[in-house]
């Protein structure tokens, strides 16, 4: 077993200013906690965390990571607690150890859904601190190295899990050395026969080619020396698992594999990479189609190297990788090479270096997650591994670097609600990777999402059909329900104010309190909303509050005697209409704008809609309460209004309230009679368009041999705009008549 000082020395070799006290403290604490515990092999248990720590020293990791490795099984397997570790080593280390404890509980579950959930948790843990993954992988590697001592069935499950999840994950994180060893051992347990065959054949071939390999190595070294390039040349042999996988994937026999051997040339600088490449290509002939420059275009996991294949000195194919020392380190250690933390100095426990957005490791992790679900080359066997479970999820980041996991198809709205319900409710826009994008954009792995918020926002009901998460859907439903209720109670309030005023009384919400019971409503808001929805008549509320009030409805003129009360009004198109007396009278007694409900179009805060014939600013208008759905606005010349004549409680005074800075178009219906000639429809459309109006719908009403009558629903700014359009239509040679339609 490695001694305490040996461990310190190992770290000191690459980090001279190592925090020795921290390492010593963790060593002693873990050793004491594990005490006389034994592993399945009979070794003292403490040898395991110690070996895990040793693996991490090979990757040149900082003392905090090494200390976490020493402590990684203490909470799970000993009397140690999170609180104790927090106290002794600081909360940052405590968090890491606890994170590993949680991950340990997730190992070896069999259900697919559980595995997916584990992966998600693993990734979330990694995103908080990549060192969790490094320790976890080192832990798994040591367990694999000592797998012999496990029970047969358990052994196989661990090996399969390693092959399916941990090895590909290590590869994805760019840790090729780790990946190869995990695969190698797992292969041995999963398919012992194939493993033995492949290994034996490889050994045989290696023995047979010993001389050739030495010859090539010598030739290459001599070439570089002659041209004064400092280069390390090393032969390497493909690993049994990658040979086996290739044979299976491409249905090749052993003999057909051309690239069992390769050479790696490691130089000092990028310039030397290309110089070495030039020398190789001018000395031997290259095999076409095998050249790849991953230096100018690095792989997604940051792998950089030049690959080429030549016909070597003894006429055999030789695969070559050319790279710098730095590139070699990254190819070997991946994310670990990026996660060497700068010492912030002064901090006693050395555990304060957490992964931040600024570190390379963060950028690395982000890129990796972006690529997790998408293989970057055809040989990528990701789809055959458990990592495919990631494919129904996307992982996105907040601007502060928090990882948000969402189901595939999720939008920025889902993201906002996943962060917090308030964030979702006030979301008005989103920046995805710094660019403003539509809220229905489908998020991709690795997207950074910034939510633009406004306190005035109410989530539109239509969002419910855009979002994919249940949380967002439920919150939107709740918010729109509240908003609609608010609209109705706002409308109800205005209706009551007006009704009270007409009755010579003053309305206040306080008035309602004593009569809630009589009105059978549970609170004031409930009364207001009921009035707004038309379920409760304003007169009934007025009578409840002021019992001496005389109901206006009783005094309504009976229809027969009303004739003289009607007005004849000529509308904009010159048509004569009979107008119900009430509306006409009310119109004459204006201005009573203070008592009228202001109307600002359909996007305002009232539950408002327009009659089918439309109404535009400039029209005199009246509102009719539609029980359960707010108010419908009619121009007062509309003949449809007669239908409500004996329901005075449904009439409500309204007035236009146009926001000049935020103008809206309003609906109007016109009838156009066109002369049947080629192009006349196009003419009409042209006149409408050139007048800055929109055609909403167009329908043919009557066609005769000489003319066609059509109804057009338009959107215009106001009455002036509509009249200008009508007169221009009349002037057009294709048009014989154009007029506004009422009702
Ligand atoms: Mn362990």
Kindly report, residue by residue over 658-680, the tens digit of the pLDDT: 777 778 889 999 999 888 777 88
Q: Both 526 and 515 in a single domain?
A: yes
Contacts of 97 (CB under 8 A, 6+ apart): 68, 71, 72, 74, 75, 82, 85
Contacts of 124 (CB under 8 A, 6+ apart): 403, 405
Inter-CA distances, 117 with 41, 406, 470, Å: 32, 12, 17
Kindly report, residue by residue over 433-488, the tens digit of the pLDDT: 889 999 999 998 778 899 999 888 888 888 988 898 877 888 888 888 887 788 78
Is residue 165 over pLDDT 50?
yes
Q: How many of the other CB atoms lie within 10 Å of CB of 450?
A: 19
Q: What is the pLDDT of residue 638?
A: 86
Q: Is residue 191 part of a domain?
A: yes
Which of 216-220, 301-305, 430-434, 519-523 is predicted least confidently?
A: 301-305
Q: Both 397 and 437 in a single domain?
A: yes
The separation between CA 374 and the C-alpha centre of its own chain, rounded to angstroms, equals 17
Last residue of a domain, one of 459, 491, 511: 459
Residue from 423, 319, 317, 302 nearest 371 by CA: 302
- What is the distance in A from the centroid of ligand 1 to the CA of 535? 68
Q: Is residue 474 part of a domain?
A: no
Contacts of 162 (CB under 8 A, 6+ apart): 140, 144, 182, 185, 186
- What is the distance in A from the centroid of ligand 1 to the CA of 135? 9
Q: Name, of 79-93, 491-505, 676-690, the range with top average pLDDT.
A: 79-93
Rg (CA), the chain: 40
Domains: count for the chain: 5
Q: Is residue 344 part of a domain?
A: no
Q: Both 679 and 592 in a single domain?
A: yes
As a whole number of angstroms, the distance between CA 1 and CA 414 comes to: 52
Q: Both 655 and 520 in a single domain?
A: no
- What is the distance in A from the centroid of ligand 1 to the CA of 69? 8
Q: Is residue 551 part of a domain?
A: no
Contact between residue 538 and residue 501 where contact means Cβ atoms under 8 Å apart: no
Average pLDDT (673-702) is: 85
Q: Both 291 and 310 in a single domain?
A: yes
Token digits of residue 263: 């050479």
Q: Both 205 and 182 in a single domain?
A: no
Contact between residue 353 and residue 130 where contact means Cβ atoms under 8 Å apart: no
Q: Sign of the C-alpha dihedral, residues 660, 665, 668, 673?
A: positive
Q: What is the pLDDT of residue 274?
A: 94
- What is the distance in A from the centroid of ligand 1 to the CA of 55? 13
As a whole number of angstroms, the distance between CA 5 and CA 313 comes to: 49
Token digits of residue 108: 């070896």
- What is the distance in A from the centroid of ligand 1 to the CA of 612? 73
Q: For residue 418, which phi and psi values (nearest 5 degrees)?
A: -65, -35
141 — pLDDT class (breaks 50, 70, 90): very high
Q: Both 177 and 297 in a single domain?
A: no
Q: Sign of the C-alpha dihedral, residues 222, 223, 226, 231?
A: negative
- What is the distance in A from the centroid of ligand 1 to the CA of 331? 26
Residue with tokens 């003129």: 557
Is residue 139 over pLDDT 50?
yes
- What is the distance in A from the centroid of ligand 1 to the CA of 289? 45
Dihedral Cα 52, 54, 56, 58, nearest 10 deg: -140
Which residues are known to be catalytic? Answer: 76-77
Contact between residue 737 and residue 696 where contact means Cβ atoms under 8 Å apart: no
Last residue of a domain, one of 179, 195, 211: 195
Q: What is the DSSP letter of 79?
A: S
- What is the distance in A from the centroid of ligand 1 to the CA of 253? 39
DSSP string, 207-232: HHTHHHHHHHHHHHHHHHHHTT--EE
- What is the distance in A from the centroid of ligand 1 to the CA of 670? 80
Contact between residue 22 and residue 15 where contact means Cβ atoms under 8 Å apart: no
DSSP string, 23-39: HHHHHHHHHHHHTT-B-
- What is the distance in A from the centroid of ligand 1 to the CA of 354? 22
Residue from 171, 212, 237, 426 nearest 311 by CA: 212
Is residue 498 over pLDDT 60?
yes
Inter-CA distances, 341 with 62, 85, 129, 155, Å: 7, 21, 12, 35
Average pLDDT (588-614) is: 65
The parent domain of residue 69 ranges over 4-195
Q: Is residue 300 part of a domain?
A: yes
Which of 324-328, 504-508, 574-578, 648-652 is predicted least confidently?
A: 574-578
As a whole number of angstroms, the distance between CA 138 and CA 54 comes to: 9
Q: Is residue 611 part of a domain?
A: yes
Is residue 182 over pLDDT 90?
yes
Q: What is the CATH number of the domain that holds 242?
A: 3.30.460.10
Q: What is the CATH number of the domain that holds 39?
A: 1.10.3210.10
Last residue of a domain, one of 515, 545, 575: 545
- What is the distance in A from the centroid of ligand 1 to the CA of 134? 12
Is residue 154 over pLDDT 90?
no
Q: How many of the other CB atoms lie within 10 Å of CB of 700?
A: 11
Per-position b or e across 229-241, b if 16+ CB within 10 A of its CB: bebebebeebbbb
Residue with tokens 């490695």: 2
∠ at Cα 96 (91, 100), nearest 5°? 145
Is residue 361 over pLDDT 70?
no
Kindly report, residue by residue over 105-121, the tens digit of the pLDDT: 656 555 555 655 566 66
Burial (CB count within 10 angstroms: exposed 0-12, middle 13-18, buried 19+), residue 327: buried
Q: Both 93 and 126 in a single domain?
A: yes
222 — pLDDT class (breaks 50, 70, 90): very high
The residue that leads in pLDDT, 206 or 116, is: 206
- What is the distance in A from the centroid of ligand 1 to the CA of 181? 17
Q: Both 189 and 202 in a single domain?
A: no
As a whole number of angstroms, the distance between CA 234 and CA 17 comes to: 32
- What is the distance in A from the centroid of ligand 1 to the CA of 73? 5
Q: How many of the other CB atoms lie within 10 Å of CB of 342?
A: 8
On average, the pLDDT of the chain sits at 79
Contact between residue 181 and residue 401 where contact means Cβ atoms under 8 Å apart: no
Residue with tokens 């229809």: 559
Per-position b or e across 347-383, b if 16+ CB within 10 A of its CB: eebbbbbebeeebebbebbbbbbbbbbeeeeeeeebe
Q: Is residue 471 part of a domain?
A: no
As a whole number of angstroms, the distance between CA 481 and CA 466 comes to: 17
Is residue 63 over pLDDT 80?
yes
Q: Both 426 and 532 in a single domain?
A: no
Give all strands (DSSP E) within 413-572, no chain letters: 427-432, 435-437, 449-453, 567-570
Q: What is the CATH number of the domain that holds 443?
A: 3.10.20.30
Contact between residue 568 and residue 578 where contact means Cβ atoms under 8 Å apart: yes
Dihedral Cα 612, 613, 616, 618, nearest 10 deg: -140
Q: What is the pLDDT of residue 521?
A: 87
Which of 34-43, 101-110, 283-292, 727-736 is predicted least confidently?
A: 101-110
Residue with tokens 């604490």: 29
Q: Both 567 and 673 in a single domain?
A: yes
Kindly report, residue by residue over 402-439, the tens digit of the pLDDT: 777 787 889 999 999 988 889 999 999 999 988 999 99
- What is the distance in A from the centroid of ligand 1 to the CA of 212? 43
Kindly report, residue by residue over 3-34, the tens digit of the pLDDT: 989 999 999 998 888 899 999 999 999 999 99
366 — pLDDT class (breaks 50, 70, 90): low
Q: For residue 707, which phi and psi values (nearest 5 degrees)?
A: -150, 165
Q: H helices within 580-718, ranges in order?
A: 581-588, 680-690
Q: Is residue 295 part of a domain?
A: yes
Q: Both 703 and 716 in a single domain?
A: yes
- What is the distance in A from the centroid of ligand 1 to the CA of 160? 18
Contacts of 149 (CB under 8 A, 6+ apart): 39, 40, 41, 42
Q: What is the CATH number of the domain that holds 616?
A: 3.30.70.260
């Amino acid at each position: 077993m490695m001694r305490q000082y040996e461990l310190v020395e190992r770290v000191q070799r690459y980090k001279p200013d190592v925090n020795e006290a921290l390492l010593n403290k963790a060593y002693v604490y873990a050793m004491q906690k594990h005490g006389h515990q034994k592993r399945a092999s009979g070794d003292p248990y403490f040898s395991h965390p110690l070996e895990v720590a040793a693996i991490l020293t090979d990757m040149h990791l900082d003392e905090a990571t090494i200390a976490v490795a020493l402590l990684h099984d203490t909470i799970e397997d000993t009397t140690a607690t999170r609180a104790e570790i927090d106290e002794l080593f600081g909360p940052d280390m405590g968090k890491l150890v606890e994170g590993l404890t949680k991950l340990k509980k997730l190992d070896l579950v069999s259900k697919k859904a559980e595995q997916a959930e584990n992966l998600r948790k693993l990734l979330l843990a990694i995103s908080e601190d990549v060192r969790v993954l490094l320790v976890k992988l080192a832990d798994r590697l040591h367990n694999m190295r000592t797998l012999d001592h496990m029970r047969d069935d358990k052994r196989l499950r661990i090996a399969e899990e390693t092959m399916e999840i941990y090895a590909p994950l290590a590869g994805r994180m760019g840790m090729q050395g780790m990946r190869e060893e995990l695969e190698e051992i797992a292969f041995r347990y999963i398919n012992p026969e194939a493993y033995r065959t492949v290994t034996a054949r490889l050994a045989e071939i290696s023995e047979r080619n010993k001389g050739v390999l030495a010859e090539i190595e010598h030739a290459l070294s001599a070439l570089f020396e002659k041209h004064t390039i400092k280069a390390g040349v090393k032969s390497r042999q493909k690993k049994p698992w990658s040979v086996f996988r290739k044979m299976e994937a491409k249905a090749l026999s052993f003999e057909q594999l051309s690239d069992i051997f390769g050479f790696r040339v490691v130089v000092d600088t990028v310039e030397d990479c290309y110089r070495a490449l030039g020398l190789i290509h001018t000395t031997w002939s290259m095999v076409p189609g095998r050249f790849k420059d991953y230096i100018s275009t690095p792989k997604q996991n940051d792998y950089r190297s030049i690959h080429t294949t030549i016909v070597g000195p003894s006429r055999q194919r030789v695969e070559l990788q050319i790279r710098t020392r730095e590139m070699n380190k990254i190819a070997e250690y991946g994310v670990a090479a990026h996660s060497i933390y700068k010492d912030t100095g002064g901090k006693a426990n050395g555990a304060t270096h957490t992964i931040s957005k600024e570190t390379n490791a963060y950028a690395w992790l982000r890129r990796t997650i972006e690529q997790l679900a998408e293989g970057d080359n055809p040989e990528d066997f990701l789809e055959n591994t458990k990592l495919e479970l990631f494919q129904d999820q996307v992982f996105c980041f907040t601007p502060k670097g928090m990882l948000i996991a969402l189901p595939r198809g999720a939008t920025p709205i889902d993201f906002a609600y996943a962060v917090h319900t308030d964030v979702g409710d006030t979301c008005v826009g989103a920046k995805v990777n710094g660019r403003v994008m539509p809220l229905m954009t489908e998020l991709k792995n690795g997207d950074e999402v910034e939510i633009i918020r406004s306190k005035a926002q109410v989530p539109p009901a239509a969002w419910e059909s855009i979002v994919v998460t249940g949380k967002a859907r439920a919150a939107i439903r709740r918010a729109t329900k509240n908003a609609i209720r608010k609209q109705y109670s706002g409308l109800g309030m205005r209706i009551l104010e007006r009704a009270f005023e007409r009755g010579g009384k003053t309305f206040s919400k306080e008035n309602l309190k004593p009569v809630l019971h009589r009105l059978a409503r549970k609170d004031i808001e409930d009364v207001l909303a009921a009035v707004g929805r038309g379920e409760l008549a304003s007169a009934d509320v007025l009578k409840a509050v002021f019992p001496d009030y005389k109901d206006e409805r009783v005094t309504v003129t009976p229809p027969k005697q009303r004739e003289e009360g009607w007005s004849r009004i000529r509308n904009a198109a010159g048509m004569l209409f009979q107008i119900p007396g009430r509306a006409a009278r009310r119109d004459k007694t204006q201005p009573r704008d203070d008592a009228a409900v202001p109307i600002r179009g359909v996007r305002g805060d009232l539950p408002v809609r327009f009659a089918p014939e439309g109404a535009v600013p400039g029209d005199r208008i009246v509102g009719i309460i539609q029980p359960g759905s707010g108010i419908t606005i009619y121009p007062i010349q509309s003949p449809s209004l007669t239908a409500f004549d004996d329901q005075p409680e449904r009439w409500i005074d309204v007035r236009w309230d146009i926001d000049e800075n935020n103008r809206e178009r309003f609906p109007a219906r016109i009838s156009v009679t066109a002369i049947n000639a080629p192009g006349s429809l196009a003419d009409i459309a042209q006149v409408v368009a050139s007048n800055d109006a929109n055609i909403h719908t167009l329908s043919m009403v009557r066609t005769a041999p000489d003319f066609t009558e059509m109804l057009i629903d338009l959107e215009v700014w106001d009455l002036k705009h509509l009249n200008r359009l009508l007169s221009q239509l009349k002037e057009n040679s294709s048009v014989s008549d154009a007029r506004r339609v009422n009702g």
